[in-house]
Amino acid sequence: MRLKKGAGVYDIFAKVINRKTHKKLIETIKGLILPEDDVLECACGTGLLTGAIAENCNSLVVTDFSRKMIEKAEKKYGKFENVEFEQGNILKIDYPRETFDVVVAANVIHLLDEPYKAISELYRVCRAGGRIIIPTYMKGAENEKKSSLSGTADRAGADLKREFTLSTYKQFIKEAGFDDVSYEWCDGKIPCAVAIIKKGKN
């Protein structure tokens, strides 16, 4: 989530309040990145996943729509020689087709007015045979009236456009036009589902 009340609030949420989910997400991301991978991270926020990616890949381009977020992420991880930081728009990624082996966009899809356009852009810049990794916070139970995600978003000032359960998230990805998809579940106070879309070889 992008938080109107400050980037530091998000760090506290992820690392303290939702630390079980965050720890599992870090482990999951590390397991999906190979040493030879050139990676693009979109909507990096404060860089909660940036370090885990940078430690395990060949090269990493880190982007966010917010200059302030990029500055915070660079302050944390600018020491990595294989990482570049750029301001960028997930709806219009400024790279040619098939530039990256892996494209990551974590916990941003539920904040976008045009999520399918974003996914299309992620797919466009991913190389044939590569992976598009989209972790997204989940609402929880199918019949939950007031979700933990919604309550946390309200308190933090995040502008949620939609909420997913695992089943509705899978349907959402399917409606985006993808069938070769696997999912990893990161359990915790506010769980996270990681969609791994495989881009077929030409």
CATH code of the domain in which 139 resides? 3.40.50.150
Q: Quote the domain boundaries for residue 112.
A: 7-198
Does a structural domain hold residue 2?
no
Does a structural domain hold residue 1?
no
Q: How many domains does the structure of the chain reveal?
A: 1
Query: Going by C-beta distance under 8 Å and a sequence separation of 6 or more, which residues neighbour residue 151?
Result: none
Does a structural domain hold residue 75?
yes
Query: pLDDT per position in the chain (202 positions), as tens?
Result: 344 445 566 677 777 678 899 999 999 999 999 999 999 999 999 999 999 999 999 999 999 999 999 999 999 999 999 999 999 999 999 999 999 999 999 999 999 999 999 999 999 999 999 999 999 999 865 445 445 554 454 444 456 789 999 999 999 999 999 999 999 999 998 999 999 999 998 6
Does a structural domain hold residue 79?
yes
SS3 121: helix
The residues facing 153 across adjacent strands are none
Query: Going by C-beta distance under 8 Å and a sequence separation of 6 or more, which residues neighbour residue 34?
Result: 56, 57, 101
Does a structural domain hold residue 99?
yes
d(CA 61, CA 163): 28
Cβ-contact 38, 100 below 8 angstroms: yes
Q: What's this model's pTM, rounded to 2 decimal places? A: 0.89
The residues facing 38 across adjacent strands are 59
Which helix H or strand E contains 182, and what residues bound it? strand 181-186
Question: Is the backbone of residue 178 left (phi > 0), alpha (psi -120 to 50) or beta?
Answer: beta
Does a structural domain hold residue 36?
yes
The stretches of 18-165 forming alpha helices (DSSP H) are 19-32, 50-54, 67-77, 115-124, 148-156
Does a structural domain hold residue 67?
yes
Does a structural domain hold residue 82?
yes
